[in-house]
A and B are shown apart, each in its own frame.
Chain A
């Protein structure tokens, strides 16, 4: 049942990424709803959902946007290990700032990988524009969306999950 729910969420987010997200842009950056969903799944449903859901999300989003699913797998990949490493290193931060750091770093990676993918296919390399028009506005969008999504979920009592694999039931 949980698997069906997560799959439905992944499909909805993949479709929202090509219909809703492009309506809310800052300069060259769009909200990365898939990345946000993976982080929220990790925090509220545990790392196992993300480990199984990431390739499915890459496939759905690749189909919806005509992007290479393989590139999307690589683009989403560091989020979970990095968030788990932040937890494992016992960085003296609460869950929200840890999640925010993980999202921003993973967002830089994701947008960078997608940009390099486009450059490899013939787009002009423009690293200044990548930073100013894509990475920095993208980080603001990600943080704003995380705040909007995370706070209500914590408020209604959803508990945070441990991201370390030995600490979870997966």
Chain B
């Protein structure tokens, strides 16, 4: 009984402390301390990531040797196909340039600007997929900015900015919703994350095939259009169904990405303050 009553006092105290922490977080009193902690912790986070990432990668590869061989063969074919497409696109681009010059049309659209950042931490707790990066407000980052992989696929959005660090919500986070479209059929929908770190595409009464490319649609103004999200990996239901279940496999393994590009030239609708 003595034990029970003493633990009861402790539990009561902890609940009160949790409430105090919640209030401090809400009014922003925690942010300066978080900034200092992250700045001091960054070198240790880098060391831990550098040491353990190869170990985890080796363990995963041992279990997936067959899958990797199959994937390698598939990628070789895809690589050849893509090289052919690049050649064809280069020829098209030259032709477009020639026609532009002939018609004296000015090049439209400004150049994209990015800030490159390294991933220093990951939070994959239930229903949540965020990463921390080593660039923050001092590098011009703002909440709401769009984050891409080094190859240009969509990775997520900036949700919290500290002076030298920032947190990015990945597209596989269950709170992430991206207006998207299927490149081939132009069907519109919303891509959202699932608890199993997969993506689903909520698509109403439209056709989708396995292998179709899913890109951002630009609707809503929070993401620029035509950034690749992934490929359709599974479609269930019939085209007559009101809502079909479409699974999307991200082109980049967002949970293990180590370098990202923050798109600073695009201003999303929900852009926020730079933070503390």
**Measured CA separation A164–B3 after assembly (Å):** 6
* Chain B residue nearest in CB terms to A59: B21
Majority secondary structure of chain B interface residues (helix, strand, loop or mixed): helix
- A18 touching B45, Cβ below 8 Å: yes
Cβ-defined partner of B3 (8 Å) among A20, A22, A71, A166: A166
Known: A65-B130, A69-B25, A166-B2. A60 touches B56 (CB 8 A): no
Cβ-defined partner of A65 (8 Å) among B33, B123, B173: B123
Cβ-defined partner of A81 (8 Å) among B11, B33, B127: B11
* Chain B residue nearest in CB terms to A29: B126
Within 8 A of A (CB), among B159-214: 159-160, 167, 173-175, 192, 194-197
By a CB distance below 8 angstroms, the chain B residues around A67 are 123, 125, 128
**Measured CA separation A74–B17 after assembly (Å):** 10
**Measured CA separation A140–B10 after assembly (Å):** 30
Majority secondary structure of chain A interface residues (helix, strand, loop or mixed): helix
- B125 touching A15, Cβ below 8 Å: no
What does the 1/0 interface line of B99-112 toward A look like (CB < 8 Å)?
Answer: 00000000000000
- A55 touching B127, Cβ below 8 Å: no
Q: Is A41 an interface residue (CB 8 A)?
A: no
Cβ-defined partner of A114 (8 Å) among B7, B25, B127, B255: B127
Total A-B pairs in contact (CB under 8 Å)?
178
- A64 touching B126, Cβ below 8 Å: no
- B37 touching A115, Cβ below 8 Å: no
Cβ-defined partner of A69 (8 Å) among B10, B30, B55, B127: B30
Binds B, one of A96-104, A127-135, A148-156: A127-135
Q: Is A6 an interface residue (CB 8 A)?
A: no
A105 to chain B, nearest CB (A): 16
Q: Is A145 an interface residue (CB 8 A)?
A: no
Q: Is B148 an interface residue (CB 8 A)?
A: no
**Measured CA separation A115–B125 after assembly (Å):** 8
Known: A19-B121, A74-B15, A119-B127. A51 touches B21 (CB 8 A): no
Task: Provide 14 A-B residue pairs closer than 8 Å at the C-beta atoms, listed in order of the A residue.
Answer: A18-B132, A19-B45, A19-B121, A24-B56, A28-B194, A54-B14, A62-B30, A64-B38, A69-B25, A70-B18, A74-B18, A119-B127, A123-B175, A124-B174
Q: Which A residues are within 8 Å of any B CB, using their own CB?
A: 11-12, 15-25, 27-30, 51, 54-55, 58-60, 62-71, 73-74, 77, 80-81, 84-85, 88, 111-112, 114-115, 118-119, 121-124, 126, 129-130, 133-134, 138, 164-167
Q: Which B residues are within 8 Å of any A CB, using their own CB?
A: 2-4, 6-7, 10-11, 14-15, 17-22, 25, 30, 33-34, 37-38, 41, 44-45, 48-49, 52-53, 55-56, 59, 120-128, 130, 132, 159-160, 167, 173-175, 192, 194-197, 255-256
